[in-house]
């Protein structure tokens, strides 16, 4: 994200103060996590040179947009500059167009980060420019914007949910000791962050191994209270879920979802009654057809899924190439080779070209400069890594 702003500063397109205000606008936007979807998270700053006149953010779906909030704090913004993390909208939605508010306030200059791709809302920058406002933006590109607003910049043409996987792994790539004893790899700071993340999704999905062993509640009990609590989704090919499961009994506002095979759906529906919705998918030799299941969940209204494991489900989803984001928490522990591997992946996740087909780098220095690169990239960090207590979070998006 910041690298595109660095480039703009180097090229003289933005001043240092511009960069600071625009970065602040992006930060303000982040506070909308779990509260504004399906709107994007947006923050805005009104400033005159170094002086900040007002800050605002889109706080909750249906409330004021960030630009309007910041202008209202600023009071007199005539001739000032508006920094916003998203191009001002120009459509009448739940609120009037931001473009008209910006123009009415007499703002002299607008600097925006991400382009609004919406057919109706987009194009606000051009609209303002035509009316004599100096406008500069966008900066960066789709990958940067998606890093901040993964749901909003998710390909709208894809008839399936945005899918993120969260896993906690040891330094040697294991998720648990052998024998399935249940222990935390990560510390309390990570658990708090996971609860915060949950608030941004509308469904939390786990495999049978996880709900059988842990009986998790799958609710968002962290620093963000989600506008709409996420729905638990239990994978249950064999139809073994029972009404005592806490995820189903305690699902806050909505009923939980149990995903099972087409064959088991009727019996399960009868057993669970009003406690859960049953979503059915065909089976393959490897288990439920996860692609079909995700499409079915999408038809069911689920748009943002966080899968919390276990490792086998994560590996199966990765093999389908339907995963958009990985939240990988690395704990500073070793488990040993008899532990449960984090991603029991077969060859299916690799790219077609076999690594052996590429010439071995015979200059061979482990830190040398020649040689070929392992071909299975396809993931890229979408943010800087973050330390949570003694653990490290790496967030990866699928390369576009």
Active site residues: 67
Sequence-distant contacts of 71-75: CB under 8 A, at least 24 apart: 71/44, 71/46, 71/101, 71/102, 71/105, 71/107, 73/46, 74/46, 74/105
- Other C-beta atoms closer than 10 Å to the C-beta of 187 total 15
- The token duo for 54 is 């007002």
- The token duo for 129 is 């420019």
Dihedral pair phi/psi, residue 258, rounded to 5°: -115, 125
Rounded to a whole number of angstroms, the minimum distance from the CB of residue 2 to a second copy is 11
Q: Which is nearer to a second copy, 106 or 243 (CB)?
A: 243
Residue ranges in 78-137 that form contacts with a second copy under rule CB under 8 A: none
Residue span binding a second copy (CB under 8 A) among the ranges 82-90, 141-149, 261-269, 329-337: 329-337
Residue span binding a second copy (CB under 8 A) among the ranges 22-30, 39-47, 293-301, 375-383: 375-383
Rounded to a whole number of angstroms, the minimum distance from the CB of residue 177 to a second copy is 5
283 closest CA partner among 310, 307, 268, 265: 265
Q: Which listed residue (195, 227, 240, 269) binds a second copy by CB under 8 A?
A: 195
- The token duo for 337 is 């080779």
Give the whole-angstrom CA distance, residue 140 versus residue 270: 52
In the beta sheet, which residues pair with residue 166?
A: 327
Rounded to a whole number of angstroms, the minimum distance from the CB of residue 190 to a second copy is 8
Rounded to a whole number of angstroms, the minimum distance from the CB of residue 48 to a second copy is 24
133: helix, strand or coil: coil
- Which position has the token pair 């786990």? 206
Task: Write the CB contacts of 135 (distance below 8 Å, at least 6 apart in sequence).
Answer: 109, 110, 111, 112, 125, 126, 128, 129
* 384 is an interface residue for a second copy by CB under 8 A: yes
Helix pair angle (311-320, 290-299), 10° resolution: 90
* 266 is an interface residue for a second copy by CB under 8 A: no
Give the whole-angstrom CA distance, residue 256 versus residue 297: 12
Rounded to a whole number of angstroms, the minimum distance from the CB of residue 256 to a second copy is 14
* 308 is an interface residue for a second copy by CB under 8 A: yes
Give the whole-angstrom CA distance, residue 363 versus residue 38: 52
- Other C-beta atoms closer than 10 Å to the C-beta of 382 total 19
* 283 is an interface residue for a second copy by CB under 8 A: no
Q: Which is nearer to a second copy, 2 or 95 (CB)?
A: 2
Residue ranges in 345-374 that form contacts with a second copy under rule CB under 8 A: 345-347, 349-350, 355-356, 358, 360-369, 371-374
- Which position has the token pair 């409330």? 63
Residue 22 contacts residue 111 (beta carbons within 8 Å):
yes
Rounded to a whole number of angstroms, the minimum distance from the CB of residue 185 to a second copy is 5
Q: Which listed residue (132, 159, 179, 285) binds a second copy by CB under 8 A?
A: 179
- The token duo for 373 is 């690169």
Residue 148 contacts residue 26 (beta carbons within 8 Å):
yes
Rounded to a whole number of angstroms, the minimum distance from the CB of residue 275 to a second copy is 19
Q: Which is nearer to a second copy, 117 or 341 (CB)?
A: 341
Residue ranges in 201-230 that form contacts with a second copy under rule CB under 8 A: 206, 210, 213-218
* 309 is an interface residue for a second copy by CB under 8 A: yes
Q: Which listed residue (271, 342, 352, 353) binds a second copy by CB under 8 A?
A: 342
Q: Which listed residue (191, 227, 240, 271) binds a second copy by CB under 8 A?
A: 191
* 60 is an interface residue for a second copy by CB under 8 A: no
* 337 is an interface residue for a second copy by CB under 8 A: yes
Residue span binding a second copy (CB under 8 A) among the ranges 32-40, 88-96, 127-135, 180-188: 180-188
Strand 43-48 and strand 51-57: the pairing is antiparallel
* 328 is an interface residue for a second copy by CB under 8 A: yes
* 50 is an interface residue for a second copy by CB under 8 A: no
Rounded to a whole number of angstroms, the minimum distance from the CB of residue 9 to a second copy is 20
Q: Which is nearer to a second copy, 82 or 326 (CB)?
A: 326
Residue ranges in 156-175 that form contacts with a second copy under rule CB under 8 A: 169-174
Residue 241 contacts residue 347 (beta carbons within 8 Å):
no
- The token duo for 344 is 């029991």
Q: Which listed residue (115, 185, 199, 203) binds a second copy by CB under 8 A?
A: 185
* 331 is an interface residue for a second copy by CB under 8 A: yes
């Amino acid at each position: 994200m910041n690298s595109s702003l660095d480039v703009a500063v180097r090229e003289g397109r933005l001043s240092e103060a511009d960069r600071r205000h625009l970065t602040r606008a992006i930060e303000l936007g982040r506070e909308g996590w779990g509260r504004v979807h399906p709107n994007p998270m947006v923050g805005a700053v009104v400033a005159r040179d170094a002086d900040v006149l007002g800050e605002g953010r889109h706080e909750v779906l249906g409330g004021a947009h960030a630009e309007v909030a910041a202008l209202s704090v600023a009071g007199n913004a005539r001739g000032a500059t508006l920094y916003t993390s998203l191009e001002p909208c120009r459509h009448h939605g739940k609120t009037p167009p931001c473009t008209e508010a910006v123009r009415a306030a007499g703002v002299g200059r607008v600097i925006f980060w991400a382009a609004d791709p919406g057919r109706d809302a987009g194009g606000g920058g051009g609209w303002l420019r035509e009316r004599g406002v100096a406008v500069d933006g966008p900066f960066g590109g789709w990958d940067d914007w998606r890093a901040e607003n993964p749901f909003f910049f998710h390909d709208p043409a894809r008839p399936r949910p945005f899918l993120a996987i969260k896993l906690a792994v040891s330094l040697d790539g294991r998720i648990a000791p052998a024998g399935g004893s249940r222990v935390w790899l990560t510390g309390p700071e990570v658990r708090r962050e996971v609860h915060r993340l949950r608030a941004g999704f509308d469904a939390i999905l786990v495999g049978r191994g996880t709900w059988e062993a842990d009986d998790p509640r799958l609710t968002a009990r962290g620093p963000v209270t989600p506008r709409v609590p996420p729905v638990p989704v239990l994978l249950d090919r064999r139809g073994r879920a029972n009404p005592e499961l806490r995820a189903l009994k305690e699902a806050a506002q909505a009923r939980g979802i149990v995903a099972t095979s087409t064959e088991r759906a009727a019996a399960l529906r009868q057993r669970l009654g009003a406690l859960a919705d049953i979503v059915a998918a065909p089976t393959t030799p490897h288990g439920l057809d996860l692609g079909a299941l995700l499409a079915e969940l999408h038809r069911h209204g689920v748009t943002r899924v966080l899968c919390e494991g276990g490792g086998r489900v994560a590996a199966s989803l990765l093999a389908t190439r339907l995963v958009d984001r990985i939240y990988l928490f690395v704990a500073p522990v070793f488990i040993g080779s008899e532990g449960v591997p984090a991603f029991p992946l077969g060859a299916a996740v690799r790219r077609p070209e076999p690594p052996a087909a590429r010439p071995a780098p015979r200059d061979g220095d482990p830190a040398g400069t020649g040689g070929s690169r392992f071909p299975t990239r396809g993931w890229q960090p979408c943010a800087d890594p973050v330390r949570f207590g003694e653990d490290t979070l790496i967030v990866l998006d699928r390369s576009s």
